[in-house]
Structure 1
């Protein structure tokens, strides 16, 4: 009976469909790449570069049978709406986070220093078929070569959690295929104006820079000023042009890869690692083992909150860690996650925190 009801709702929805959108409550500009979570803690999907919900996403929201939705964007306060509100309104407004930053000036040292070191708080989630599979956070130092701009990293402290009720991609006897994309993300070379200019067509105005695909001139994102500095939003891979990858017995389709970043300076051409305040990326995959007919949906989000900067003559950490690598046991001395001094830090959506607390187990030695 419930299936018939939802089929009727979707049919009715197709006749009265009006596209929802999300806007900045102050400027009334569209807010791109807003993640939408249900009250069960699962990520339903995200808006496009124009801040609009696709028809497919609207249908997924109806099928989620949620009572409330939480809208999440790094530069805005989380917004919770009831399904009654969602069904009654077309446009939703999100309040920007206003906490003006003091611009960080990191001189271009020409002495013996070889590395810019960013001390950060990293938070990472992997969600399989709408259920959180892994959660990991920690204090991480990123070492950025002043010469080559290559980046290496080291976890100083971490917590690692696993949902043991979720099966791996393939489990038969001793044959298992793991797909893990949780841990500290790679800080992309795109976080630099010159590299951004090399890869995309930039259309600069007094208030923003439109980022366009060089091939077809389609809009991929933008640089724009906000009270906290310069914001970057970019859809590197989007639904209309997914990336198919095969290897090690796994086929995966990367449907979306988006980033949001904040820089402390207010000159577009000056953005770079030395002014980075915040970085977030989201990945959305469809994955299956070679002989499987059914795919798993995997969503991953990684956040980097910069806590401080320093220079170093060398990489003064032992035993470096890898990007997107799960550390299989927690190691920490204090509750570092309770003291994240960054203007954009917000707790995870309440339903998501609740799901993690009730369903995931901390990994310990």
Structure 2
């Protein structure tokens, strides 16, 4: 009898250990209780451990094996949240609070006469090269988005920016890939319409139980949803779970495991996700590169964010005045170019703070390029 009890006790212990190491946690909106996709989880040292999937879940065992006391949860539309890792293990759900959004609008007389909307905002980009911080970039940019001719290209003027580089990480990339391969920080290349209206080939928008899903075959790859308060979100992952996309450029081979885009909007309907109501965009890519002769891929992860701070409607005549100022490339030059401490003014717009582990590396491991 005692033997049976001991065996049962051991099985119970093993079951609990398995539960704790493979437990799923769900991240939800604190107000609506809806699942949140695309929430990034960061360790104390700034390493990205994982992200929530299309149903707002992340498996603890799938997180990278990093020693961390706390987990930082970050999403473009919500205030960042730091939770002790020991508590996360026993919590079934993590609740995040929607961030307060403040967008200044320059008044005009008759908006129907406007040909473009100018979205001035703050951007920041992070690149991890071989699991090390390689670059951090942030700045202020203005996008000129056509309102009437949707086939017209979106233009932009780069106002100011900072570039921080970890030379150890970038040199490691050069040593492994050679001088003919290089990585340059770049900007988000906005389009004149939402990504929901320009889906990749083979993707389609369907509806199920009142919710719109983005599908590739029978697989859910994303969704379009609008809350009762008319806040909109588009989530799209270009790479199906458990698969990868391979690409080749000459002797370089690339493999992408995830390619997520999240757009958030204010005052929209499911049928009208207008770009002049855009609030924020985040794009992330997880994958790796290698030479054809190499056996293993070198991990590369990129995370790009854009937050609208101010919008203005202008006519074609005024747009023409800026043509000589429009940038010709989304790739940034090697050195920083800024005139103000714009990064100190982000709190009043409710922009999520940088995870502490990343912030602590600025000026330390990540050196500014003047």
Bigger Cα displacement from structure 2, 93-102 vs 72-81: 93-102
For residues 348 and 250 of structure 2, the distance between their equivalents in structure 1, rounded to whole angstroms, comes to 39
5+ long unaligned stretches in structure 2:
1-13
Tell me the residue number matched to 1:298: 300
1:320 is aligned, of 301, 304, 327, to: 327
- Distance of aligned partners of 1:23 and 1:327 in 2 relative to their CA distance in 1, 3 Å threshold: same
Tell me the residue number matched to 1:141: 142
- Distance of aligned partners of 1:149 and 1:340 in 2 relative to their CA distance in 1, 3 Å threshold: farther
- Distance of aligned partners of 1:298 and 1:188 in 2 relative to their CA distance in 1, 3 Å threshold: farther
Tell me the residue number matched to 2:10: none
Q: Per the alignment, in what secondary structure is the counterpart of residue 218 of structure 1? A: strand
Q: Does the 8 Å contact 1:98/1:228 carry over to 2?
A: no
Residue 15 of structure 1 deviates from its aligned partner by 8.6
Does 2:158 align with 1:155? yes
Residue 235 of structure 1 deviates from its aligned partner by 2.2
Residue 290 of structure 1 deviates from its aligned partner by 2.2
- Distance of aligned partners of 1:241 and 1:163 in 2 relative to their CA distance in 1, 3 Å threshold: same
Tell me the residue number matched to 1:44: 49
Q: Per the alignment, in what secondary structure is the counterpart of residue 241 of structure 2? A: coil
Alignment of 1:69-218 (within 5 A): 69-99=71-101, 109-110=112-113, 113=115, 115-145=116-146, 146-147=148-149, 148-166=151-169, 167-171=171-175, 175-180=179-184, 182-188=185-191, 191=194, 194-195=197-198, 200-203=204-207, 209-216=211-218, 218=220
Q: Does the 8 Å contact 1:43/1:130 carry over to 2?
A: no
For residues 226 and 352 of structure 1, the distance between their equivalents in structure 2, rounded to whole angstroms, comes to 35
RMSD: 3.3
Q: Per the alignment, in what secondary structure is the counterpart of residue 169 of structure 1? A: helix
User: Considering only CA atoms, is the larger Rg found in Structure 1 or Structure 2?
Assistant: 2
Number of matched residues?
A: 346
5+ long unaligned stretches in structure 1:
1-8
Residue 90 of structure 1 deviates from its aligned partner by 3.0
Residue 158 of structure 1 deviates from its aligned partner by 1.1
For residues 122 and 173 of structure 1, the distance between their equivalents in structure 2, rounded to whole angstroms, comes to 28
For residues 245 and 38 of structure 1, the distance between their equivalents in structure 2, rounded to whole angstroms, comes to 30
Q: Per the alignment, in what secondary structure is the counterpart of residue 351 of structure 1? A: helix
Tell me the residue number matched to 2:249: 247
Tell me the residue number matched to 1:6: none
1:184-209 Cα offsets, whole Å, 9 max, x none, are: 1111456166446995223277xx74
- TM normalised by structure 2 equals 0.82
Residue 121 of structure 1 deviates from its aligned partner by 1.5
For residues 197 and 220 of structure 1, the distance between their equivalents in structure 2, rounded to whole angstroms, comes to 12
For residues 160 and 21 of structure 2, the distance between their equivalents in structure 1, rounded to whole angstroms, comes to 51
Bigger Cα displacement from structure 2, 221-230 vs 155-164: 221-230
Q: Does the 8 Å contact 1:98/1:227 carry over to 2?
A: no
